[in-house]
């Protein structure tokens, strides 16, 4: 059974109980629908993908006419959401943490333009890098842009905060960030829904220059953002999601942020924590609450999922000398995801672990699926590249990144979306010839096109491999913005059509692929080699659907 | 009353179908539930795990603390061993013995079974074989669910009701196959625990 079926089934069961079993991401999707959005904008990225998928699959969203198609990348998604907000409607934009780097220009400036219709940016961070290149903490982006950040501790709070977030955004006149992490994103729990808010009417911004960030106007807008900071902090202080539970034991006080609050609670099952606890789920950090806490403790332990943002902040704010424990002083690890065990250790509790993992247990790294077209492309590539020194193939982010691992070991970089094209170009400019790039179809339209344009304009000597499986596969087979457009994009950017070669990556065409690689490596200029075969998982899904359709055409 | 279950397997083996049914049964009993899943990169043939927590009290952490799982329910034998630190000293390993070999250095199956047999409480069952004999290897996850049922604080009939509800759309034949598989696993566990 598919995950989606599960939710449908369970939500049916639970409608009677008024409680819904939602993944954190589903709770957010449902809250956005109930909160009155007119559109969601996103590019797939674990662990944020299912928010948008949930809205795409929702009948309720379809009936409301909520727009939900995938965007080409996070920046286009962000800007479109801002445009929807400009027009007075509520919008949500979703991405994984590194996606915010792509959208950062729009994000930072949208704090200064402010919003018209309520705008929520939901960012899903991935501490421990389960499916990511880094574990950056998006709360820093929120602080950097000086906007409110909401950090729910559980699925219900995720629902509530998104539902309330649109109102908050409209009240304060700025975008609001909802920050979650992998664990909350991909864990289910019961969630109660709230009343549905109607969509906003189309309504122009009152001030016609609000969105015109010419220096003179931008300076005014920025000042107004600065002036709002006190109001943001007041909101955080008044928020029911932030609170202080004072206790008599003064040796320690604990600040628990977002999901870390659950890990603290797990260690005090009967609500018998002897220390004063501050739960923090809405930022900016309310200084008043910190100073109140200061009265009740001699030392402070900060529990936060991500970087030591709160820990650094509180160190500088206490009026009396208070020792601060957390990720910076080693009470908790400096990196990686938190859990109840690490919190227990920081509290000095004993843990009775189970038996050790026997030494015969080996790792099972993820691998390309049997029958995947990337494999055939890599086999041909490896045969050709054997003639040269290693390290000449740059790559990108997608299933094909697994080509870095045995048995292929074909690629030598995975940095950020689109970087394969530009890094290959830079290396070729430096004299590393041949230099190749391996990029997927969706990654190419996400951020590879502009790099290809640079290569064409510079006539760089590169071979760009677009391994096209016609879907965004690593995140579960979403529709690729590139579908049916790659050759015309490459031609439009200026690649010589004679050097745009299209092949089907299959065993029987191995020799042809090898020969084509050799021909294009010999050509001094920009070549694009497109290897096109449907993702094997997508093909299996398509066949299942077709079979179902044949059995019951009406369904 | 709480049951903390580590569900283990390899990406693509469908451990979530087990969670689905237990989740449905737990909710019908008006119990609290939290279930953390693995999505993303590991789904491509990597080790996947789901933490399923069922309780009559509100549940705090989405993850099960170490040393406190009541059951490791694994649809693959090596994966059963990967999460031993989470298992309580009183907890049960319930594992399929059919290996899923997708790495070149996969250990000898006999050695894995030896390690499992070293643990104080376990049920090791060839669920693939048993499901095949019943009629369809694809029902092996229901054999595994049946084998774990004696250690879950939900009555087997209630779990069966969950199976019926989840598979009802696929027709009576599929429901019956899965119920038969569930009962076969349950019987085996009761006889071999």
Buried b (16+ CB within 10 A) or exposed e, A35-44: bbbbbbbbbb
Cβ A259–B37 below 8 Å, yes or no?
Answer: no
pLDDT of residue A1: 35
Cβ A9–B102 below 8 Å, yes or no?
Answer: no
Residue A287's pLDDT band (cuts 50, 70, 90) = very high
Cβ B85–A353 below 8 Å, yes or no?
Answer: yes
Topology of domain A3-196+210-227, CATH: Rossmann fold (3.40.50)
Is the per-residue pLDDT at B42 higher than 80? no
CA distance B85 to B36: 17
Average pLDDT over residues A261-288: 96
Among A366, A408, A540, pick the best mutation site for testing chain B contact (most B Cβ within 10 A).
A366
| C-alpha distance from residue A459 to each of A198, A359, A403, A431 (Å) | 54, 53, 28, 13
Average pLDDT over residues A461-488: 96
Query: A157-161, A253-257, A548-552: which has the minimum mean pLDDT?
Result: A548-552
Cβ A130–B65 below 8 Å, yes or no?
Answer: no
List CB contacts of A329: < 8 A, sequence separation 6 or more. none
B 66-125: CB under 8 A from A: 66-67, 69, 78, 81-89, 91, 102-103, 105-107, 111-112, 115, 119
CATH code for the domain defined by A373-539: 3.40.50.970
Cβ A363–B44 below 8 Å, yes or no?
Answer: no
Average pLDDT over residues A90-102: 98
Average pLDDT over residues A221-233: 98
CA distance B133 to B93: 24
Residues of chain A with pLDDT > 70, as a percent, come to: 96
Point out the residue among A47, A364, A399 whose CB comes nearest to the CB of B10. A364
Strand partners, A385: none
CA distance A280 to A261: 8
CA distance A208 to A212: 8
Average pLDDT of chain A, as a whole number: 95
A 96-135: CB under 8 A from B: 130-131
CA distance A26 to A14: 15
By the CB < 8 Å criterion, does B166 face chain A?
A: yes
Average pLDDT over residues A99-114: 98
pLDDT of residue A4: 44
pLDDT of residue A246: 96
pLDDT of residue A2: 41
Instruction: Work out the minimum CA distance from A339 to partner chain B, whole angstroms.
Output: 7
pTM of the model: 0.94
Query: A68-72, A397-401, A547-551, B78-82: which has the minimum mean pLDDT?
Result: A547-551
Residues A3-53 have pLDDT tens digits of 444 555 454 444 435 688 999 999 999 999 999 999 999 999 999 999 999
To 10 degrees, the CA torsion angle through A228, A230, A232, A233? 170
Contacts of B37 in chain A (CB under 8 A): 3, 23, 186-188
Residues of chain B with pLDDT > 70, as a percent, come to: 98
CA distance A277 to A242: 11
By the CB < 8 Å criterion, does A353 face chain B?
A: yes
pLDDT of residue B14: 81
Domain ranges of chain B: 2-192
Residue A555's pLDDT band (cuts 50, 70, 90) = low
Is the per-residue pLDDT at A125 higher than 90? yes
Residue B16's pLDDT band (cuts 50, 70, 90) = confident
Cβ A339–B61 below 8 Å, yes or no?
Answer: yes
Among B13, B23, B40, pick the best mutation site for testing chain A contact (most A Cβ within 10 A).
B40
User: SS3 string of A45-105?
Assistant: CCCCHHHHHHHHHCHHHHHHCCECCCCCCHHHHHHHHHHHHHCCCEEEEEEEHHHHHHHHH
Full DSSP string of A386-420 = TTS-S--EEE-SSGGGGGGSTTT-------STTHH
Point out the residue among B37, B38, B47 whose CB comes nearest to the CB of A364. B47
* CA count, 13 A, side-chain hemisphere, A502: 13
Sheet architecture: strand order including A282-283 = A37-42, A90-96, A119-125, A176-181, A149-150, A282-283
CATH code for the domain defined by A243-346: 3.40.50.920
Contacts of A10 in chain B (CB under 8 A): 20, 23-24, 27
Domain ranges of chain A: 3-196+210-227, 243-346, 373-539
Among A54, A156, A355, pick the best mutation site for testing chain B contact (most B Cβ within 10 A).
A355
ipTM over 0.90: yes
Residue B103: closest CA among chain A residues belongs to which residue?
A364
pLDDT of residue A11: 47
CATH code for the domain defined by B2-192: 3.40.920.10
B 21-50: CB under 8 A from A: 23-24, 27-28, 30, 32-47
Point out the residue among B23, B44, B63 whose CB comes nearest to the CB of A339. B63
Residue B106's pLDDT band (cuts 50, 70, 90) = very high
Residue A189: closest CA among chain B residues belongs to which residue?
B34
pLDDT of residue A366: 84
List CB contacts of A451: < 8 A, sequence separation 6 or more. A418, A419, A421, A422, A425
By the CB < 8 Å criterion, does A552 face chain B?
A: no
Question: A453: closest CA among A486, A421, A501, A498?
Answer: A421
B72, containing H or E segment: strand B69-74
pLDDT of residue A75: 98
Sheet architecture: strand order including B87-96 = A19-23, A187-192, B32-36, B47-55, B2-10, B69-74, B87-96, B122-125
CA distance A43 to A76: 9
Among B62, B120, B171, pick the best mutation site for testing chain A contact (most A Cβ within 10 A).
B62
Average pLDDT over residues A498-514: 98
CA max distance for chain A: 79
By the CB < 8 Å criterion, does A532 face chain B?
A: no
pLDDT of residue A133: 95
Note the helical H segments in A173-259: 182-185, 215-227, 229-238
Is the per-residue pLDDT at A174 higher than 50? yes
Contacts of B7 in chain A (CB under 8 A): none
A 179-208: CB under 8 A from B: 183-190
């Amino acid at each position: 059974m598919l995950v989606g079926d599960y939710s449908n089934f369970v939500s049916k069961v639970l409608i009677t109980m008024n409680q819904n079993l939602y993944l954190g991401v589903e709770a957010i999707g449902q809250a956005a629908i109930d909160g009155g959005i007119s559109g969601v904008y996103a590019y797939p990225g674990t662990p944020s993908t299912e928010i948008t998928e949930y809205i795409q699959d929702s009948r309720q969203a379809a009936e409301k006419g909520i727009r939900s198609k995938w965007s080409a990348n996070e920046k286009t998604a962000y800007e479109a959401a801002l445009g929807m907000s400009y027009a007075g409607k509520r919008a949500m934009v979703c991405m994984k943490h590194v996606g915010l780097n792509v959208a950062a220009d729009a994000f930072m400036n949208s704090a200064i333009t402010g919003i018209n219709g309520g705008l929520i940016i939901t960012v899903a961070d991935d501490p421990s890098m389960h499916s990511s290149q880094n574990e950056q903490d998006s709360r820093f982006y929120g602080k950097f842009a000086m906007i409110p950040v909401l950090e729910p501790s559980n699925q219900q709070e995720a629902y509530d905060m998104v539902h309330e977030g649109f109102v908050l955004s409209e009240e304060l006149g700025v975008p609001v960030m909802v920050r979650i992490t992998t664990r909350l994103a991909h864990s289910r729990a019961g969630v109660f829904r709230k009343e549905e808010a109607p969509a906003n009417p189309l309504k122009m911004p009152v001030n016609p220059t609000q969105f015109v960030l010419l220096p003179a106007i931008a300076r005014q807008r920025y000042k107004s953002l600065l002036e709002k900071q006190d109001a943001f902090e007041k909101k955080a202080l008044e928020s029911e999601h932030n609170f202080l539970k004072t206790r008599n034991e003064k040796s320690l006080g604990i600040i628990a942020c977002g999901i870390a609050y659950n890990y603290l609670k797990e260690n005090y099952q009967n609500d018998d924590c002897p220390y004063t606890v501050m739960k923090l789920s809405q930022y900016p950090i309310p200084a008043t609450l910190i100073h109140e806490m200061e009265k009740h403790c001699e030392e402070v332990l900060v529990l936060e999922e991500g970087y030591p943002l709160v820990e650094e902040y509180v160190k500088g704010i206490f009026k009396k000398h208070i020792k601060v424990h957390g990720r910076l002083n080693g009470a908790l690890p400096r990196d990686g995801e938190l859990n109840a065990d690490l919190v227990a250790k920081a509290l000095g509790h004993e843990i009775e672990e189970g038996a050790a993992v026997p030494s015969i247990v080996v790792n099972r790294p993820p691998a390309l699926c049997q029958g995947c077209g990337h494999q055939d492309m890599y086999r041909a590539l490896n045969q050709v590249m054997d003639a040269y020194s290693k390290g000449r193939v740059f790559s990108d982010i997608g299933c094909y990144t697994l080509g870095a691992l045995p048995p292929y070991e074909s690629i030598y970089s995975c940095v950020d979306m689109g970087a394969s094209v530009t890094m290959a170009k830079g290396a070729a400019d430096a004299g590393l010839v041949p230099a190749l790039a391996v990029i997927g179809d969706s990654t190419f339209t996400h951020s590879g096109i502009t790099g290809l344009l640079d290569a064409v304009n510079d006539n760089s000597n590169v071979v760009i491999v677009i391994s096209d499986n016609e879907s965004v596969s690593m995140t579960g087979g979403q529709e690729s913005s590139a579908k049916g457009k790659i050759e015309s994009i490459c031609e439009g950017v200026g690649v010589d059509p004679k050097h745009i070669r299209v092949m089907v990556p299959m065993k029987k065409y191995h020799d042809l692929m090898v020969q084509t690689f050799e021909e294009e490596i010999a050509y001094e200029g920009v070549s694009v080699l497109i290897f096109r075969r449907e993702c094997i998982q997508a093909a299996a899904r398509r066949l299942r659907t077709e079979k179902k359709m044949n059995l019951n055409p009406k369904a | 009353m709480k049951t903390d279950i580590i569900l283990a397997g390899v990406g693509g083996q469908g451990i979530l179908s087990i969670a689905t049914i237990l989740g449905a049964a737990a909710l019908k009993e008006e119990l609290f539930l939290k279930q953390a899943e693995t999505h993303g990169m590991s789904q491509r043939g990597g080790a996947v795990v789901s933490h399923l927590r069922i309780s009559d009290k509100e549940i705090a952490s989405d993850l099960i603390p170490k040393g406190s799982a009541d059951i490791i329910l694994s649809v693959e034998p090596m994966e059963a061993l990967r999460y031993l630190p989470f298992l309580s000293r009183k907890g049960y390993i319930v594992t399929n013995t059919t290996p899923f070999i997708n790495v070149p250095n996969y250990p000898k199956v006999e050695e894995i079974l030896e390690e499992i047999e070293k643990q104080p409480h376990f049920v090791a069952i060839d669920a693939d074989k048993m499901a095949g004999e019943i009629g369809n290897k694809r029902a092996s996850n229901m054999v595994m669910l049946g084998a774990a049922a004696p250690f879950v604080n939900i009555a087997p009939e209630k779990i069966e009701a969950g199976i019926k509800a989840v598979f009802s759309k696929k027709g009576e034949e599929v429901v019956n196959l899965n119920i038969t598989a569930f009962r076969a696993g349950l019987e085996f566990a009761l006889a071999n625990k």
